[in-house]
Chain A
Amino acid sequence: MKEKLVTLELALEHGLTPEEYENICELLGRTPTFTELGLYSVMWSEHCSYKSSILELKTLPTQGKHMLAQAGEENAGLLDIGGGLAVCFKIESHNHPSAIEPYQGAATGVGGILRDIFTMGARPIAALNSLRFGSLSDPHQRDLMRGVVRGIGDYGNCFGVPTVAGEVYFDMSYSGNPLVNAMAVGIVPVKAVARSAAKGKGNPVFIVGSSTGRDGIHGATFASEELSERSSERRPSVQIGDPFKEKLLMEATLELVASDALVGIQDMGAAGIVCSCTETAARGKVGIEIDVDKVPLREPDMIPYEICLSESQERMLVIIEKGKENIAKQIFEKWELHAEPIGEVTEGGRFTVTRNGQIVADVPADSLVLGGGAPQYKRPSRKPFELEAHKHFNPDHVPEPADYSKVLAKLLASPNIASKRWVFEQYDHTIGANTMVGPGLSDAAVIRVPGTQKALALTVDGNGKRVALNPRRGAELAVCEAALNVACTGGRPIGLTNCLNFGNPMDEEIYYFFRETIAGMGQACRALEIPVTGGNVSFYNESKNESVMPTPVIGMVGLLEDFSLATPTGFQEEGDFIALLGTQGKDLGGSEYLHLFHDLISGPVPEINLERHKALIQLLKHLTDNRLIRSAHDISDGGLAVCLTEACMPKSLGAVLTFPWDLRPLEILFAENASCVVVSVNGDLWGKFRDACKKFDIPVKMLGRVGGETLAINDWLVLPVKKAEEIYEKVLPDIMEQVEELSV
């Protein structure tokens, strides 16, 4: 690459607006150098600056009594879980890289989020992911899914973190732009949390880990534009992952954090050296001066622009206390990694880059970063007219199906509902020896906090359909369902992270969805008293002018004081009573049933009362703490019938359910009600169970008993559990293992 003359035209090619370019010139009092233009273009990209979202994000509740770091202050959220320990977690998207290079795109998404966790001194104990693809009848989508799943697996498995939960959905809107959101969770002693601020004039700044190559240059800019036919030309913007290096980097980093040599640390993700230097400098209100000649390179002839912007993986920026350089050097030598001093902390707040003793960039560090000089925009929004139309859809006009058993069988065979075993068996979910409840067995994974009696309940959850129909309530429902998933396993929801996947924010209708989503999330979080600890916004999820469904994904963390209280999804004992907590409504809107049988994504989405939902969560906590229930599973995709089937399958236990009804069978069986949970109760404890429900003012409906080998509901539906299992388990393997024709 060669240096170019900086002009307005070149700035526009870099994705800056004329106003932004003018702003830069004014701020510097001159035309920026080529390197400086690179710095601003990448740091002011949507991906790094959050310029279209930050004003909205600030409305989310970020306060909570257990918060140890505010959202945006550190690399990941941090919550006190007692006993001197904190949990550290975050979710991030890697959608665009995965669209054009699924294996490396997904792998480096996992790598990036793991680095965010161990940068804070935390050892990762769990990984999760949320995936969206187009229809699996399209061979390209199958290919994408194979690549993404293998990428996530290979990275996490080699690194050595259990991948314990996740979700996968399919919808045509994701055909051109799959969603790959990765979450990681770690544990750190409160006293040992590493901070990311640079401090102390003269302290040396090191680059550690891998050497720097040309991969991923402008990855952040690439993430800030729509996908198009030309996107495959961006393949060099996709980084290449090396989980083995990352594992070494983690061990070395954790050793360094435990030493007294470390001042500050920041991982290198998007926008590589420039982002890590300016963010640490801005946080510490200092400057950083670096000499690019000292950066270990993979290719010798890289120019400063490339070195500063490279997104080569498995690298960190660390600031060491002057005089203790050898401690750092020895640690990294032990792990056979680079640790090169490339500069030092300065006074005056400038980020300065030199080459051959010449200054090639010299800018105020603060002017580049989010929360500093990076632009912030309030984008115009407009309510799409079809949203009103969805509300007028009358579910009463949906006819009753002729055969409910057949409907259930078809729902179980829908890839959206069917078992995801094909996916999660490619992930090591038992490494760490802390996985109490792994994938497929519960509404949330339950992972012991190493060396303690405590456990974390972890889930990722999002439902694009509901948000597309009613963004505000859809987002409320997403938060509520994630919290309920955690509660069903016995956890108390303590905090959430979110990944907001949307189209082009300059589109007023898309921006309307975004704003409403934030509003709905905020409402739910305030009502349930769950703080938002951080998250990630991914815009420009579009291809050929088609946007993905607005898809907020919630990553929820819950706490169990005693891991032995973990409650599974599945029925446990013959003869147990089966009951429904909550009240069902006519909630067919946005359901899988409507989509599958009537090809409709429409209708009013389910009603939710946040106060009652909170009471339900508290009731579940009481029931699990006092061991009054043996299983719990919330009604979700596919409705009550699928919920019951999923409770029957883990232990191959049948259930006979006979109960009075006041809605149509169609609505009872297949509506996707909010705030409804199916529990099983030992008959001896039924009295105590009833009393507890009364105390929390949650209605209980007795549905039937566990037993036999068949699921039977009133005289509507009969399905042998073995048959259900066969259908449920076969779907994905049959689709994914088919012999593909080679396309040339």
Chain B
Amino acid sequence: MVFAVITFPGSNCDQDCIWALESVLGYTVRKVFHRSGSLESADAVVLPGGFSYGDYLRAGALARFSPIMEEVTAFAREGGIVLGICNGFQILCEAGLLPGALVRNRSLKFVCRDVLLRIENRSTVFTSNYKNEQEILLPIAHSDGQYIADAETLDMLEREKRVVFRYRGPIRPDAPDGNPNGSARAIAGLINEQGNVLGMMPHPERACEASFDRTDGTGVFTSIAEAVANRKMIPA
């Protein structure tokens, strides 16, 4: 299983993704620099979090023009598995691989805390390893995490079961509905129509270690690996 982790200028969760995938979970990681790298032989692609290009202009708006994004887009169109975390999610929206947009949190402040998430769709290549009705605790850390889309798109996402993760806590004065950033329908993560591209604001790579008593993020990566293994078993 080979994960490609892409580094844009300003990516700052790339090392954490590499650590979780390689050292904790034992997968092979191909470190891809945005200008010179290639996705050759990668089974899945991770766009990590951070502040690519300093979030200048708009989060993710510049990174989508980076040379590697052409390859990522082609990879996704061919059915390759692509996971965008935090800034990676913002880039996927900017690149048109996912619908909607991520704007400034409703509080207008950066927010870093653990949030409870409900897994809304377990039959995706990103969530098959989670248990039914499982709720998971993952950290968030972002300024621009409020997911927005027009009502039609939101209805479509719900209808097609493309909302994968939804915020549901903790209930706090600044998040009375358990929604820490004001996202429409409390959406924390969603997939594209084909189901091979996931964008999520919470950071699964920061919750993969039993020795830290935090393993709720592991399922995202093991599900991907399992899906890739299953695909490989089917002869072309």
Q: Which of A245, A247, A336, A426 contacts B109 (CB 8 A)?
A: A426
B81 interface hit (Cβ, 8 Å): no
Give 17 CB contacts A-B under 8 Å.
A154-B110, A157-B51, A157-B141, A158-B51, A159-B12, A244-B54, A247-B9, A248-B9, A334-B33, A425-B109, A425-B113, A427-B112, A428-B112, A428-B141, A431-B13, A433-B19, A433-B20
Q: Let me know if B205 is at the binding interface, CB within 8 A.
A: yes
Residues of chain A within 8 A (CB-CB) of B139 are: 430
User: For residue A425, which residues in chain B have a CB less than 8 angstroms away from its CB?
Assistant: 109-113
Q: How far is the CA of A248 from the CA of B34 in the complex (A)?
A: 13
User: Nearest CB to that of B56 among chain A residues?
Assistant: A244
Chain B interface helix/strand/loop/mixed: mixed
* Chain A window 145-172, contacts with chain B (Cβ cutoff 8 Å), 1 for yes, 0 for no: 0000010011001111000000000000
Whether the pair B112, A429 counts as a contact (CB closer than 8 A) is: yes
| In the complex with contacts A426-B111, A430-B141, A430-B206, A244-B16 CB distance below 8 A | no
Residues of A contacting B212 with CB < 8 Å?
A: 436
Q: Are A244 and B53 in contact, CB atoms less than 8 angstroms apart?
A: yes
Which residues on the B side are within 8 Å of A153 (C-beta)? 110
Which chain A positions have C-beta within 8 A of B143?
A: 157
Q: Would you call B141 and A158 a contact (CB within 8 A)?
A: no
* Cβ–Cβ < 8 Å partners of B15 in chain A: 432
Interface contact B112-A160, CB-CB below 8 Å: no
8 Å CB contact of A242 from B13, B23, B54, B112: B54
Q: Let me know if B182 is at the binding interface, CB within 8 A.
A: no
- B174 in the interface, Cβ–Cβ < 8 Å? yes
Do A733 and B205 form a contact, CB below 8 Å, given A335-B9, A425-B112? no
The 6 tightest CB contacts between A and B, nearest first, are A160-B12, A244-B54, A428-B141, A158-B51, A430-B139, A433-B16
Residues from chain B with Cβ under 8 Å of A729 in the complex: 173
CB pair B173–A733 under 8 Å, yes or no, is: yes
Q: Enumerate chain A interface residues (CB-CB to B < 8 A).
A: 150, 153-154, 157-160, 242-245, 247-248, 334-336, 424-433, 436, 450-451, 563-564, 729-730, 733, 737
Candidate in B12, B16, B111, B143 with the most chain A CB atoms within 10 angstroms: B12
Would you give the shortest CB distance from B139 to chain A, in whole angstroms?
A: 4
Q: Which of A154, A248, A432 contacts B10 (CB under 8 A)?
A: A248
Min distance, Cβ B15 to any Cβ of chain A, angstroms:
8
**A430 contact from B35, B203, B209, Cβ within 8 A:** B203
Query: With A242-B54, A433-B19 given, is the CB distance from A247 to B10 under 8 Å?
Result: yes
From B140, which residue of chain A is reached at the shortest CB distance? A430
A-B contact count (CB 8 A): 85
Q: Verify B205–A433 contact, CB threshold 8 A.
A: yes
* B209 proximity list for chain A (CB < 8 A): 433
Q: Which residues of B contact A733 (CB under 8 A)?
A: 173-174
CB of B211 within 8 Å of the partner chain: yes
The docked-state distance in angstroms from the alpha carbon of A539 to that of B173 is 41
A424 to B112, CA, bound (A): 8
In residues 33-78 of chain B, which contact A (Cβ within 8 Å)?
Answer: 33, 35, 50-51, 53-56
Q: Are A431 and B110 in touch, CB under 8 angstroms?
A: no
Contact between A157 and B110, CB atoms less than 8 A apart: yes
Docked-complex contact B50 and A160, CB < 8 angstroms: yes
Q: Which residues of A contact B19 (CB under 8 A)?
A: 433, 450
User: In the complex, what residue of chain B is closest to A161 when comparing beta carbons?
Assistant: B12
Provide the B171-190 mask, 1 if CB < 8 A to any CB of A, else 0. 00110000000000000000
On whether the beta carbons of B23 and A451 are closer than 8 Å, the reply is: yes
- Other A-B pairs, 17, CB within 8 Å; known A244-B51, A433-B205: A150-B110, A154-B110, A157-B51, A243-B51, A244-B55, A247-B12, A335-B9, A336-B9, A426-B111, A427-B110, A428-B112, A428-B141, A429-B112, A430-B112, A430-B203, A431-B16, A737-B174
Cβ of A436: which chain B residues have Cβ within 8 Å of it?
Answer: 212
Complex interface residues of chain B between 10 and 33 (CB less than 8 A to chain A): 10, 12-13, 15-16, 19-20, 23, 33
- Distance of A451 Cα from B53 Cα, bound (Å): 28
CA–CA, A22 and B173, complex, Å: 64
Is A431 in contact with B54, judged by CB distance below 8 angstroms?
no
Q: Smallest CB-CB separation from B17: which chain A residue?
A: A433
Contacts of A431 in B (CB 8 A): 12-13, 16, 141, 206
Rounded to whole angstroms, the CA-CA distance of A159 and B13 in the bound complex is 10
CB-based nearest A residue for B208: A433
Interface string of B193-213 (1 = CB under 8 A from A): 000000000010110110110
CB distance A730 to B173 under 8 Å?
yes
Give chain A nearest CB distance to B214 CB in angstroms. 9
Chain B nearest CB from A219 CB (Å) reads 23
* Closest CB in chain B relative to A440 CB, distance in Å: 10
The complex places the Cα of A192 from the Cα of B143 at a distance, in Å, of: 35
Q: How far is the CA of A394 from the CA of B121 in the complex (A)?
A: 67
CA distance A709 to B50 in the complex (A): 41
User: Would you give the shortest CB distance from B54 to chain A, in whole angstroms?
Assistant: 3
> A247: shortest Cβ distance to chain B, in Å?
6
| Known interface pairs A159-B12, A160-B13, A426-B112; A433-B206 also in contact (CB < 8 Å) | yes
Q: Could you say which of A244, A428, A564, A737 contacts B211, with CB atoms under 8 Å apart?
A: A564
Q: Which residues of A contact B50 (CB under 8 A)?
A: 160
| Contact (Cβ within 8 A) A158 B16 | no
- A564: which B residues are within 8 A, CB to CB? 211
- A732 to chain B minimum Cβ distance, whole angstroms, is 11
Which residues on the B side are within 8 Å of A336 (C-beta)? 9
CA distance A154 to B139 in the complex (A): 18
CA distance A243 to B56 in the complex (A): 11
Determine the residue in chain B with the shortest Cβ distance to A734. Answer: B173
From residue B80, how far is it (CB to closest CB) to chain A in Å?
A: 26
Listed residue (A160, A242, A563) with the most chain B CB atoms within 10 angstroms of its CB: A160
* Max chain B Cβ within 10 angstroms of own Cβ: one of A158, A427, A451, A729: A158
Closest Cβ neighbor of B13 among chain A residues? A431
Which residue of A has the minimal Cβ distance to B10?
Answer: A244
Decide: A428 near B23, CB < 8 A? Known: A157-B141, A160-B12, A247-B10. Answer: no
Residue of A242, A243, A425 ringed by the most chain B CB atoms within 10 A:
A425
Q: How far is the CA of A690 from the CA of B53 in the complex (A)?
A: 57
User: A430 CA to B110 CA in the complex, in Å?
Assistant: 13
CA distance A298 to B15 in the complex (A): 33
Closest to B109 in A: A426
A313: min CB distance to chain B, Å: 13
A500 and B61 CA atoms in complex are apart in Å by 43
- A426-B110, A427-B112, A733-B174 known; A432-B16 Cβ under 8 A: yes
Report Cα–Cα, A730/B110, bound state, in Å.
19
Q: How far is the CA of A433 from the CA of B173 in the complex (A)?
A: 28
